[in-house]
Structure 1
């Protein structure tokens, strides 16, 4: 069948543009591959490349000469489409990749991403989706060199432009966007450093954030995919986390959480998107600049509302409070000023936010005592710090009760065993115990140390507290914390003598 019979013309206000009917395209592509699988070699590939170069030049010339007369360049468009489909056999022969990416064909394919005929762009994405994840075994250096050539020839920039101009008004555009996301995921899965290139060379990160915020469509696989991609692109890339913060992305993510401050997601897709947003904010809040943005957009206030709403994500919201105030003086003060103590101490006593699952309850307990520890440690405002001390004294029995509970949980080690262990083995045991509850004990001991230094009788052997805090500083303490706690420990030890 003459492929030109498959072409239909469609009028647009700005320009005439064709749309290639893709019915049965997949079947035809597969038939072509099966027929040519055994015959395909370097000679055939070079012939395909030559045809692509000629038809690309012809189509570009005709479109330039007859921009408003589609009948003049329709044949060359069909030929381009056919050339791209023939190239779909290449991913089955990764050893031939160097011939492809060292020719003009790679540049042409990237240029065709911006072709006015969307069907051509679709064909390019289909080809690239398979090209970047070749069939069978492939030498790593071949695929990495392909990626390097793609980046060098502005593929990421072109892909970003294609994504940004896609408004998803048709199912074809929806599918195209999904395929673009798949190309990104496949490339990053093989070469993680591409995450940084995507953030540096395009606006894809910013687009994904806005796409996650947009919940206008009822069934929206691309929104879910965008949230998953964001987690992938930021897990090990500090630069992309900074891009999200500087571009207002934290506000967008908080807008998503705001929809669920009093209710739970209704569908599995919504739940997954919400979890991905929490994962993103968890990554973002590791950096001080993003902690600033989080409070600028009233993130602490929103987390309190989510906890008060008693939704299924309340525990995650509680954890974000800890991340937002961690080593951050201003946010510590802000949490107290907005009434955070009235939320934290009841949770410490297991009122309101609690869980039947032991691991979940451990997470809640750990978060509570670490928040109180941070508020005491990082608060330079003496009036606000005194409020925390007073509240801790008021809830002293609850703190001691919780401490005793975890002391009874943690497996004891025979002291005689320590003589047989070297420092590395001891450290391994220590970190293992942290995950079983020691972190709760140590955090409470730091709170008690602060109370002791303020003249409060905690009715616990002070030497036990000193030993606990010293052990923490030995294995996990940073210089700033060591400089802060050592004088307090020395003061207690002097008083013991």
Structure 2
């Protein structure tokens, strides 16, 4: 088992575990979206783009996502009231309490009201809340057939009246309404999704991604995002938790429903991928105007396009989360990476789409080695360094921008796992930039140490180690090591994870700096300065991690005894591996890094060795305790894997960590 690999990949920020949601700008915009989502108002805006990518605004306009302001509620003489809802349901407004104006009365068609009734029925109506599966399937087929007819009708009208948008505007409104109505399929993915694929509506939805009206494409993207959201698979969790008295049969039935939901989602995702949804989504990113608004005249249009980009990224995240292997196809076979690098490097203040683009980049970089190499080939290392350089002098403006910064640091850390990218990092003066960020003591300080940890690891990081010393990085590193210079803010104070990166960085310096070189002498001299202050700090950390580890080992011993005596379970290799991983997470890994440095110091300097022996003896310990930790480290560390395609072959005479540990243990045993 390769223990080193367990802690080298960066952890994603907490936001990566939670689904992002688009933040609506104002209450007025929400109201406008509600009242005009199904309107066939002839004064709405229809946006068509011709084959050359030109945008043309025509009047009267189309029915999809709202662009114009809502009509004055107090205008009782508005002659468009009769056309407010699709289907001209004139009796609807007469039957409903219209106190406060017609917009507060609902403004929904019969079909939409039926959908809301099904989705909003309360628990008191439990017996009639769900129709029989065969009835639900029949209704779903009818709805999907209406959807297909709406697509065909719209295509026919667009061909017949290509020069007169007023002729096909009604068909566009019907298509938009049918698209929005399909969100009801998320209520039972196990039942409805296979039918959606069987009828061929997935192909139709993917076809709408290239619709002439970009608002129809945006509506299709939003629908696909809803259908692929993993929240639809968790819909039954609350019921399961609340019903503690359910019998075993009911629990089995619910588990079966979960399996059907997973299978339904798999069928849907497979069909989307077969219909080239990744290529269509990425191509759509260029259709949306995701730039800053230059004036109030196009503000609503740009906000709508920005929302379209946001939902597109949401679909990509859903697909990659459900099938992680799709990240390679997304990066390798589409222009997604080029668009993302352009988007995160765009000048200007933080916005939601820049933040989402950074988060998705961190996800796809962490999951695939080929993606990291592709980013390096596209000068992505330089792009990330350029974007992160802005945080050397200032902190992020708010929590959202802080999240973006962390995601970009994580993406850079992931990319530095390849030899070629470490070389690009060196050539792009990445070491110098990270040292500058460390010196500035801003919020990005500890993140820069994390990047340097990844850049200096392994034999491929030897050149970066030398450059780090040349850039006077040792002074700043040991300042962080001693806990000096941190702001009072907890965000800039070292945590256990940060301490781990500092110790790992020191371990890389001891491993890669050549013996008797000026760089190594400068490193060793740091542990002698100020009457061995840094050496004492190293031993202090050793005591801290030992104490933390003792509590965990006591708990593990109790669990083992309970498994053997009470449950009669034999502790095998698998169980031992799980317990070992717990110990690593609870301080053993940091303890191994500390003792690795202690062993090097004992070997390199007799004065430091004598000081370490004295300090250990005061705690009732000795070098034999250091040897015991290193022996376990050696026993569990994995052999270096063979190089993958595109990676450099190991250099002749290159020393492995396991060989270094053997030499260190042998030397310490002679010092007892």
Distance 1:448 1:68, change over 3 A: same
- 1:398 alignment counterpart: 533
Conservation of the 8 A alpha-carbon contact between 1:178 and 1:222: yes
Equivalent position to 2:345, from 205, 213, 223: 213
Mark the runs of 5 or more structure 1 residues left unpaired by the alignment.
none
Equivalent position to 1:438, from 568, 588, 591: 591
**Alpha-carbon distance between aligned partners in 2 of 1:382 and 1:404, rounded to the nearest angstrom:** 25
| Deviations 1:145-165 (CA, angstroms, capped at 9, x unpaired) | 110000001111111111233
Equivalences for residues 405-420 of structure 1 within 5 A = 405-409=540-544, 410-411=546-547
Q: What's the CA shift for 1:7? A: 6.2
Equivalent position to 1:152, from 274, 290, 303: 274
1:182 and 2:326 are equivalent in the alignment = no
**Alpha-carbon distance between aligned partners in 2 of 1:370 and 1:439, rounded to the nearest angstrom:** 10
- 1:458 alignment counterpart: 609
Structure showing the higher helix proportion among its residues: 1
Equivalences for residues 95-494 of structure 1 within 5 A = 95-133=191-229, 134=232, 136=235, 139=260, 140-169=262-291, 170-217=302-349, 220-327=351-458, 328-353=461-486, 360=494, 362-363=496-497, 365-380=499-514, 383-388=517-522, 390-392=524-526, 394-395=528-529, 397-409=532-544, 410-411=546-547, 424=576, 427=580, 431=584, 434-435=587-588, 438-439=591-592, 441-452=594-605, 458-459=609-610, 460-461=612-613, 463=624, 465-476=626-637, 478=639, 480-491=656-667, 493=669
- Aligned residue for 2:494, secondary structure, equals helix
Distance 1:386 1:306, change over 3 A: closer
Higher RCO (C-alpha under 8 Å, 6+ residues apart): 2
Q: What's the CA shift for 1:248? A: 2.5
- Aligned residue for 1:28, secondary structure, equals coil
The alignment's TM-score, normalised by the length of structure 2, stands at 0.63
Distance 1:446 1:16, change over 3 A: same
**Alpha-carbon distance between aligned partners in 2 of 1:31 and 1:430, rounded to the nearest angstrom:** 57
- Aligned residue for 2:62, secondary structure, equals strand
**Alpha-carbon distance between aligned partners in 2 of 1:372 and 1:288, rounded to the nearest angstrom:** 20
Aligned-residue RMSD, C-alpha: 3.9
The alignment's TM-score, normalised by the length of structure 1, stands at 0.83
Conservation of the 8 A alpha-carbon contact between 1:295 and 1:331: yes
**Alpha-carbon distance between aligned partners in 1 of 2:65 and 2:486, rounded to the nearest angstrom:** 54
Mark the runs of 5 or more structure 2 residues left unpaired by the alignment.
1-35, 49-53, 67-83, 86-105, 120-129, 237-256, 292-301, 562-570, 614-622, 641-655
| Deviations 1:437-472 (CA, angstroms, capped at 9, x unpaired) | 5245313313314415xx666204455554443343
Q: What's the CA shift for 1:326? A: 0.8
| Deviations 1:98-136 (CA, angstroms, capped at 9, x unpaired) | 222123322121011111111211221232222224485
**Alpha-carbon distance between aligned partners in 2 of 1:363 and 1:4, rounded to the nearest angstrom:** 57
Conservation of the 8 A alpha-carbon contact between 1:164 and 1:204: no
Q: What's the CA shift for 1:205? A: 3.8
Distance 1:124 1:399, change over 3 A: same
- 1:33 alignment counterpart: 115
